[in-house]
Amino acid sequence: MRLQKLGRPQGARKALLRSLVASVVLHGKIETTAGKAKAAKPLVDKMITLGKRGDLHARRQAAAFLGNPEAVKKLFNEIAPRYAERNGGYTRVLKLAPREGDAAPMALLELV
């Protein structure tokens, strides 16, 4: 998998992706640019996989990545049990109309 730099230095890119993943966990879907949605999708899937594991180490790994206690609680208590029988493919990226101001390609990243 090719690393998408998203026009940001490493720290800002990491913070952006953490924020996107936490938002998807908390709200179920987010509307963002297509590049950001594609970059965040595997990370959301990884967090749900950690939630399905459900042990203390997985919870601590998710907490270290997300940095948001409410997101961790929702991930482990609500979202992970919903996907207990599913083997991957927890998210989808739907293309939307380009953004009004700069015509950037937009996408909807949502939980299936």
**3-class state of residue 10 by DSSP:** helix
Angstrom distance (rounded) from CA 26 to CA 72: 9
The predicted pLDDT at position 3 comes to 78
Please list the pLDDT of the chain residue by residue as tens digits (112 residues): 567 899 999 999 999 999 999 999 999 999 999 999 999 999 999 999 999 999 999 999 999 999 999 999 999 999 999 999 999 999 999 999 999 999 999 999 999 9
Mind listing the domains of the chain with CATH numbers? 10-111 (3.90.1030.10)
Cα–Cα distances (Å) from 2 to 6, 45, 59, 108, in that order, read 12, 17, 27, 21
